Structure 1
Amino acid sequence: MRCNPNHSDISRALLIGATAGLAASFVMNVFQDAVTHFGPDNDNDDAAAEPATEKAADDLASVLGTTLSDETRPAAGEAIHYLLGAVLGATYAMAAEYEPGVTKGAGAAFGVTTAAMLDDVAVPATGLSEAPWTFPASTHLYGLASHLVFGMTVDGVRRVLRRIR
């Protein structure tokens, strides 16, 4: 069942989706911190690698003609993480307005798609990480679980906010 939302619906969907994406980015961080600190694989070398978001922040700073200090790099990486979360959330909410079927699975399919497109395609293609086949299965499972949490949180928050008038 396709919808044909009007301008007001589109603006509302974008705002709701961006808000849901920000909330989901926070929940994803909490999940990752819990897994990293309490999981059995907390000595993993991948955890010590510079996050792709920090590399992206470095690249953006370079394009802007500046550099990031070691002190500001983590915060800049977090800003990239939250900005991307807001954009992805807004995109999901917009898609849900036009094609409600995308919400089947309560955001799980969105999370899996996000994991595949970001971790396995976009991030390596931009040089922010090595090729996906160079990482152990545990790294892929961690990324998949993190993005499932993200996708399902986006969907849940989006649904709650849509009910609020």
Structure 2
Amino acid sequence: MKTTDLLTDAVIAPVAGYTATKAMEPLSMKLYQLQSDKTRERDDAARPGSPSQIAADKTLGLLGIHLEGTAREWSGTAFHYGLATSWAPVYALLRRTTGLNPVAAGLTSGAAMSLIVDEAITPLAGFSAPNRAYPAVTHLRGFAAHLAFGLAVATVTETAWAILRRRPHPGR
């Protein structure tokens, strides 16, 4: 992989991650709304709060920083989008090193994010309730939303690569 490819990907990734999150959020909300009232109630009862906000509060707390009000809300948003922009390069790495096509790489990066971040790190770090506290449909909703995230990252990245003529070539 060339240094120029890495630099190009480093510039594209934040845009791809932000855009993909903006695409994922309404899908996740729509899937939530389609759940039964009983399932939504169980989901809501299990959730101790926004995982991004909890992550921000705990992480900043380790640094002795305790925010309130709007600053606290912004910190949660920053963690949410920070995760998205830091995960987006996984797509480029898969495309440039494995030979996966864009759809397969997008689905793989989205699935990996769901399984590693949502299903493992988030509950283990105490940013959410344990997995078993949530109905199965909650996990499926998150998985589907992250697949959409991966496909959106793929779309933005592939479009930028095409414009910049930086698309990976098979066998490269």
TM range (shorter): 0.7 to 0.9
8 Å contact from structure 1 (residues 20, 154) kept in 2: yes
State whether structure 2 residue 8 is matched by structure 1 residue 9: no
Deviates more, 1:77-86 or 1:40-49: 40-49
8 Å contact from structure 1 (residues 10, 97) kept in 2: no
Q: How does 1:66-105 map to 2 (within 5 A)?
A: 66-101=65-100, 103-105=102-104
State whether structure 2 residue 43 is matched by structure 1 residue 46: yes
- Is the alpha carbon distance of 1:79 and 1:102 closer, same or farther for their aligned partners in structure 2, counting shifts above 3 Å? farther
TM superposition score normalised by structure 2: 0.81
8 Å contact from structure 1 (residues 24, 151) kept in 2: yes
By how many angstroms is 1:106 displaced?
A: 5.3
In structure 2, list runs of 5 or more residues that go unmatched.
165-172
Q: C-alpha separation between the residues in 2 aligned to 1:84 and 1:97?
A: 21
- Root-mean-square deviation (CA), in Å? 2.1
State the secondary structure of the residue aligned to 1:44.
Answer: helix
In structure 1, list runs of 5 or more residues that go unmatched.
none
8 Å contact from structure 1 (residues 20, 153) kept in 2: yes
Deviates more, 1:8-17 or 1:41-50: 41-50
**Stretches of 4+ moved more than 6 A in 1?**
none
Percent identity over the alignment is 27
Q: Structure 2: which amino acid aligns with 1:95?
A: L
2:163 equivalent in structure 1: 164
- Is the alpha carbon distance of 1:153 and 1:69 closer, same or farther for their aligned partners in structure 2, counting shifts above 3 Å? same
Cα deviation 1:45-69 (Å, max 9, x = unaligned):
4346301100011012212322121
8 Å contact from structure 2 (residues 16, 156) kept in 1: yes
2:15 equivalent in structure 1: 19
1:32 equivalent in structure 2: 28
Q: How does 1:136-155 map to 2 (within 5 A)?
A: 136-155=135-154
State the secondary structure of the residue aligned to 1:150.
Answer: helix
- Is the alpha carbon distance of 1:122 and 1:80 closer, same or farther for their aligned partners in structure 2, counting shifts above 3 Å? same
Aligned residues: 160
TM superposition score normalised by structure 1: 0.84
State whether structure 2 residue 59 is matched by structure 1 residue 60: yes
By how many angstroms is 1:121 displaced?
A: 0.8
